[in-house]
Amino acid sequence: METFIRSDQYNFIRAQTQVLINAHASVNDTGVLNALKALSIEKVFSLFDELGEEQVQLLSPVRDLKERDQADAFLTELKEYVIPFKTLNEQSIKKLFPKAKKLKLPVLDHIDFRGISYLGWNDNGTNRKYMISQNDGKLSALHGTFKPISKKGICTICNKFEEIGMFLYETKGPQLGTYTKKGNYICQDSQKCNHNLISLDQLNDFIGHLNG
């Protein structure tokens, strides 16, 4: 069976396993538990436009999870079917940022490409953040200034309460020689942001806003 699960979908399923574990630990009403189990499997199946018989069999055990070790085993098996982010190396990253001077490259060996929906990293020496996203298999890249703030807040991309900073991306303005800056607050730690991401909608909206 081929890979068919996006990283954000995997994160959503992981979150549903925690919902079920918490329910079994705190709810005694069988009817309520059965309703939660039915709702969880419905939510998981609805992530996909179409599922084959093997895929249904792979995902179906989510409804029967009660303990953490069961969930861990289930998620480990599921991870094998997560679509990895498009293969990148130092040369391909440099091509995506042709105008970036003194580009600081990420340590690719430390990245789980099945665990990211976008590749992001910081250059603290220049106060810049770099991002590579993909849409329909095509890569796009942008970089801008990044200023961390001293308190936690809601990330525009993953919508979780994390250590954030202001990311600003500069584009050419409507008149010759003018520039416009766009941005918002996003996670300082892009790996954590990816781990939190349970939908691509806000990521795509963020990238679209910057490029629009």
For the whole model, what pTM was predicted?
0.92
If you classify domain 7-79 with CATH, what class do you get? mainly alpha
pLDDT of residue 172: 72
The 3-class SS string of 113-151 reads CCCCCEEEEEECCCCEEEEEEEECCEEEEEEEEEEEEEE
Which tokens go with 201? 């909608």
pLDDT of residue 148: 95
Cα angle 97, 100, 102 (rounded to 5 degrees) comes to 120
Judge residue 113's burial from the number of C-beta atoms within 10 Å of its C-beta, 0-12 exposed, 13-18 middle, 19 or more buried: middle
pLDDT of residue 136: 81
For the chain, domain boundaries:
7-79, 90-211
Q: Which residues, including other chains, have CB under 8 Å from residue 3's CB and lie 6 or more apart?
A: 80, 81, 82, 83, 84
pLDDT of residue 173: 64
Closest by CA position to 130, among listed 105, 157, 165, 95: 105
> Over its length of 212 residues, how does the chain's per-residue pLDDT go in tens digits?
999 999 999 999 999 999 999 999 998 889 999 999 999 999 999 999 999 999 999 999 999 999 999 999 999 999 999 999 998 999 999 999 998 888 999 999 989 999 999 999 999 999 999 999 998 888 999 999 999 998 899 999 999 999 999 999 987 766 666 678 899 999 999 999 999 999 999 999 999 999 87
pLDDT of residue 211: 84
Which tokens go with 24? 């079994």
